[in-house]
Amino acid sequence: MLRKIFAALATAAILALVIQPALAQTSTLTGSWQLTLVPNLPPGPPIIPIAGLANFTSDGGAVATAAGVIVGSDPSLSGTGLNPAFGNWNGAVIPGEFAIVLVGDITGANGALVATRNFRALVTFPQSNEFTGSYTLTITDTSGNVLSSGSGTITGNFIPHFLPPGS
């Protein structure tokens, strides 16, 4: 009888260890994610999704990068380089919803700051390893004047951890 109880407890412990990582993704952004941003644009040119990557730390830190950015028609921004964005994430007021805030620099050819990207998103988890939501983006010059703004939808797909053989 004691062996059966021990076997049942051991099985329950193993199941908890196996199930826990999958459940953890429904309550935290911690980890690495592939992002897809789809801007809300007026009718006209085809809307091209923007690919990106993000990493969210367990203490609320965030680093992200994207393949493109809405920069508007300001000629001073043409040909500028994009840098990663840094910020934070946390649980929002609504349970299951998370807020992401990122700030990134846009620099000129000489490396000088010409504008700042301010990105905000609210996301939820419709599936355990995927989040969806909406975002806003504002680009301001060094004096704080708004050069461009936009919004859209964001999707994130969790990048699973690689476990080497034998671990």
Least confident piece of the model among 4-13, 42-51, 78-87? 4-13
Output the pLDDT for position 85: 94
Average pLDDT over residues 128-151: 92
61 CB-near residues (< 8 Å, 6+ apart) = 86, 87, 88, 89
Neighbours of 131 (CB within 10 A): 23
CA distance 31 to 33: 7
Instruction: Assign residue 110 a region (left: φ > 0; alpha: ψ between -120 and 50; beta: otherwise).
Output: alpha
Express each pLDDT in 29-49 by its tens digit.
999 999 999 988 766 677 788
- CATH (residue range 2-158): 2.40.128.120
Residue ranges per structural domain of the chain: 2-158
What is the residue-averaged pLDDT of the chain? 78
CA distance 39 to 11: 47
